Amino acid sequence: MQAMKTEEREHKFQRGLDHFNRREFFEAHEVWEEVWLIESEPQKTFLQGLIQIAAAFHHYCRGNPQGAESLLASGIVKLTRFSDRHCALNVAELRAVAKKWARALGNGEDPGESALPTLTLSEEGLASRHPARTRSRHSRHNIC
């Protein structure tokens, strides 16, 4: 399998975030999987956690709460291996929301589509997105 350049990996990672935040969970899953296939550990596990959570919400939207609950649980386990802020994402918030959803679905409750989460950048991630505010415009910060 051909190596993927860092810039391309970052672009695909961001595309996955954009899809997720537009509630295009299947598409987020697909884009992240392209990177996951060639990534090494520990990043491979992190991406797998994101992929499983995206797939869980895809299952939820297609009327499969049991599949959603199972995939949420798997994704949460993988994301617990990472700090609260990883790859510029607020992972702590994502874990908390995923746990809330998994508990609700496990109890036969439906949180509703209006409660579907978005992925937020950590404060450090926001700073890296706006380099003029924190550093020279010519410095580059890798997302992940």
Query: The dihedral of CA 17, 21, 24, 26: what is its sign?
Result: positive
pLDDT in tens, 102-115: 999 999 999 999 99
Q: Percent of the chain beyond pLDDT 90?
A: 77
Q: Which domains does the chain have, with CATH numbers?
A: 6-130 (1.10.3450.10)
- Per-residue confidence (pLDDT) for residue 51, from 0 to 100: 98
Is 37's pLDDT higher than 80? yes
Q: What is the pTM of this model?
A: 0.85
**Cα–Cα–Cα angle for 56, 62, 21, rounded to 5 degrees:** 55
In eight-state DSSP terms, residue 121 is B
Task: Return the CA Rg of the chain.
Answer: 15
List Cβ neighbours of 133 (8 Å cut-off, separation of 6 or more): 127
pLDDT in tens, 83-131: 999 999 999 999 999 999 999 999 999 999 999 999 988 765 444 443 3
